[in-house]
Amino acid sequence: MASNFLRLRKPYYVESTINCSSSSDQKLVNLSFGINETRDQTKKRQAKEHHGRRSCLDSCCWVTGYLCTTWWLLLFLYHCCLPFTVGHEMPELMPAARLKREGLKGIHPVVLVPGIVTGGLELWEGKPCADGLFRKRLWGGGGFTQLLKRPLCWLEHLSLHNETGLDPPGIRVRPVPGLFGADYSAPGYFVWDVLVKNLAKIGYEGKNLHMAAYDWRLSFQNTEVRDRALSKLKSKIELMYRANGNKKVVVVPHSMGVAYFLHFLKWVETPPPMGGGGGQGWCAEHIKAIVNIGPSFLGVPKAVSNILSAEGKDVAYFRAMAPGVLDSGTLGLRALEHVMRVSRTWDSVVSLMPKGGETIWGNMDWSPEDEHVCDFSKKRYFRLSPSDNNVNNSDAKQVFRVKDPVKYGRIISFGKAASVLHSSQLPTAVLKEILHMNASRNFNSSCGEAWTEYDEMNRESIRKIGAVDKAYTATTLFDLLRFVAPKMMNRAEAHFSHGIADNLEDPKYNHYKYWSNPLEMKLPDAPNMEIYCSYGVGIPTERSYVYKLSPSNKCKHIPYQIDTSVDGEDGSCLKSGVYFADGDESVPVLSAGFMCAKGWKGRTRFNPSGINTYVREYQSKPPTSGIKSTTHVDIMGNIALIEDILRVAAGATGEEIGGDKIYSDMLRMSERINLRL
């Protein structure tokens, strides 16, 4: 792959050499014929000759300069604000310092479970291009420097095998063990560091605090097949339980780590060889509470846009501001194609796909978020009594009102009309008809290496799928993705399922592919265990997308992109081709809170032992960073969340820390979902 990268640039070098030689020869000829030029004329002629061959280099320099300037500006602002950042709070402002003065001490061992992309990865075996990187970070910490030094080599080593979902031949990348592996995602950007510092202040250290590192690229079951990660986690929890006077463990997963640990709960009690053999009652014996931070229990819509076009709102905005930069063939970047090629080898991405289909996420004309208002700066807040919102606290709850409900159920729409018109006004043609008409794959050998699976698709099928006035729900979008990414979906769907179980007693649900879907598995028989759904609210979060066909039809090109030219009216949920709902910027409230608010509340078929569940929401307040931030990652430095975790680790129950605390429209959304419990 590195040779391909150099091959693309070779013509520029050859052309420059030829031009230089030609220029020199011409000068000799001019001198021999006695042609006299003024100094100004000579300068103009030389500038014109060099303009063509320098244009590419100048463009690269400008792009690099912009990136470096932006990076250094961010670092400058970070250091200027250092005294006010979470990691450098004065001791008296850290919740642990205050709680320690009140006599709070750590009692229960704590296990932290990182989420997707937040855990460090290091190289153990690589190709020649990775010489000198043995046991050096490729991801997290300072590992991102390799992206600038050797980008194609870096991407090759982060990729997994496209058929097995495991290591490619000659490459071994492994998770960085211990707390060091996930304390910072990059220098200056904390992940777990602030929480760890607070835990340390009330007595936590190596013997009662553990980071459950795993390779977040793999399917959950493959972390056990390749690394025995689930077995290591089981052994560590058992050891911490015994070493700390038989005190049950408090587990704190974040983001995708929530689904990973949900998989573990079923795995640990399942008989071998598929499970860990802990037997029924293992969870009841060893686990006190699970405090889920930013949980993505029911998936996230942005996983769909990632698979379809390697985009989210941020990438789409940048693409609109600087068209052609990310897709530039002249500069040789093609960044999105590279990102797609790598991420489509990660099975974990499919674990984040929306679960529950149209029952949870809505259909063509209905969604649970109906009546949600999107002008977050002008929301009205109404105080409800505890009997109105079924919470045992006096916090105010947001009641959202909007004139024209957004059709959030249409997660992917091609054209704005397809996102707003009634379903009866849309064409009746469905994706399956296109599949029957054009089922053959049409690999274009002239494209060379197939960077993405789009290179193997019939171009006519691509155009038909992306025709305007077509929309896809949480159910039909799986047909769409199976068509545009068949290799990825065939491999990953052997490890993950996204439906709703009709009968949980059916033996098929004993298979590991169902264990990370809370709608297709039962919680363990552990009535004294507690589960918390802790997440931020009040931040616009991606919920659905308006797409268009890409203007380019070249080989190695992603044919679809978010239509950033599409906007709604003032205060609309639609901005630059993205519909927003309430959430923490990454995970919608619906995915983060539904299971604790309704799916597991009391004794249900998904929670037969009646494990107590609590919804703990943290309201977004200015400033949007630091100790009050509630965004998906920054919330791990939020002092209110940290205090909740410290109190639970010190022995408090959910009722003792205040029970449910709900600001969002979560309960109203839950009532609109007709799910058999």
Residue with tokens 């259909």: 363
CA torsion sign for 191, 536, 209, 597 is negative
Token reading at 394: 């006096």
Q: In one letter, which amino acid is 157?
A: H
pLDDT at position 466 over 70: yes
Backbone angles phi, psi at 614, to 5 degrees: -135, 135
- The answer to whether position 285 is within a domain reads no
One domain, residues 76 and 124: no
With bands split at pLDDT 50, 70 and 90, how would you rate the model's confidence at 570?
A: confident
Q: Let me know if residue 101 belongs to a domain.
A: no
Q: What does the pLDDT read at residue 90?
A: 45
Selected residue with higher pLDDT from 84 and 420: 420
What pLDDT, in 10s, does the model give residues 580-629?
999 999 999 999 999 999 999 999 999 999 999 999 999 987 655 567 88
* 387, 518: one domain: yes
Range of the domain at 158: 120-175
Of 175, 195, 219, the residue at which a domain comes to its end is 175
Question: What band does 93 get if pLDDT is binned at 50, 70 and 90?
Answer: low
From edge to edge, which strands make up the β-sheet containing 121-125?
137-139, 121-125, 172-175
Question: Do 60 and 127 have their domain in common?
Answer: no
Amino acid letter for position 538: G
Residue with tokens 């197939």: 450
Q: How far apart are CA 42 and CA 602, in angstroms?
A: 86
Q: Which of 338, 632, 664, 670 is catalytic?
A: 632
| Number of residues assigned to the chain | 677
Q: Are strands 612-619 and 530-537 parallel, antiparallel or unpaired?
A: parallel
- The total of other beta-carbon atoms located within 10 Å of residue 57's CB is 11
Q: State the pTM of this model.
A: 0.83
Confidence bin at 457 (pLDDT 50/70/90): confident
Neighbours of 466 (CB within 10 A): 18
pLDDT of residue 52: 47
Structure tokens at 116: 């997707």
Token output for 347: 């099975």
Average pLDDT, the chain: 81
**Residue 29 and residue 133 in one domain:** no
Concerning whether 570 is annotated as a catalytic residue, the answer is no
Least confident of 247-251, 343-347, 391-395, 430-434: 391-395
The whole-number average pLDDT for the span 82-87 is 40
Q: Are strands 574-575 and 578-583 parallel, antiparallel or unpaired?
A: antiparallel
Whether 433 maps to a domain, the answer reads: yes
**Among candidates 440, 426, 512, which has minimal Cα distance to 471?**
426
**Helix 151-158 and helix 335-343, axial crossing angle in degrees, nearest 10:** 20
Handedness of CA 574, 580, 582, 585 (dihedral sign): negative
Predicted confidence at residue 430, as pLDDT, reads 59
Catalytic residue among 255, 544, 629, 670: 255
Residue that terminates a domain, selected from 134, 150, 175 = 175
What is the distance in angstroms between the CA of the first residue and the CA of the last residue of the chain? Answer: 52
With a cut of 50, say whether residue 172 has pLDDT above it.
Answer: yes
166 in the same domain as 20? no
Token output for 436:
């029957």
Among 196-210, 216-230, 459-473, 479-493, which stretch is predicted with the lowest mean pLDDT? 459-473
Which amino acid makes up residue 303?
A
Amino acid, single-letter form, for residue 431: L
d(CA 613, CA 595): 9
CA–CA distance, 158 with 177 (Å, rounded to integer): 17
Which two three-digit tokens encode residue 384?
């409800």
The residue with greater pLDDT, 363 or 620, is 363
Is it the case that residue 435 has pLDDT exceeding 70?
Answer: no
Residue 540's nearest CA partner among 484, 579, 491, 482 is 579
Cα–Cα distance between 399 and 379 in angstroms, integer?
9
Rounded distance, CA 231 to CA 208, Å?
18
**Same domain for 560 and 437?**
yes
Q: Of 52, 80, 108, which residue constitutes the final position of a domain?
A: 80
Q: Which residues contact 293 (CB under 8 A, 6 or more apart)?
A: 252, 253, 254, 255, 258, 534, 535, 635, 636, 641
- The DSSP secondary-structure symbol of 588 reads B
Q: How far apart are CA 514 and CA 518, in angstroms?
A: 8
248: in domain:
no
pLDDT in tens, 446-455: 454 445 788 7
Six-digit token pair at 664? 């969002």
Per-position DSSP letters for 52-109, written without gaps between them: HHHHHHHHHHHHHHHHHHHHHHHHHHHHHTGGGSGGG--GGGSHHHHHHHTT----S-
Whether 102 is in a domain gets the answer no
Structure tokens at 85: 């950042």
Marked catalytic residue, from 584, 644, 660, 665: 584
262 in Cβ contact with 518 (< 8 Å): yes
pLDDT of residue 375: 64
Mean pLDDT over 297-311 rounds to: 93
Whether 222 maps to a domain, the answer reads: no
**What mean pLDDT do residues 473-500 have?**
93
As for how many domains the chain has, the answer is 3
The model's confidence at residue 243, banded by pLDDT at 50, 70 and 90, is very high
404 in active site: no
Identify whether 242 is part of a domain: no
Question: Is residue 255 domain-resident?
Answer: no
Cα separation, 63 vs 47, whole angstroms: 22
Place of tokens 């835990």: 199
Residue 552 and residue 429 share a domain: yes
Domain shared by 26 and 157, yes or no: no
Asked if 632 is an active-site residue, the reply is yes
- pLDDT greater than 80 at residue 442: no
Question: Which secondary-structure segment (H or E) carries 578?
Answer: strand 578-583
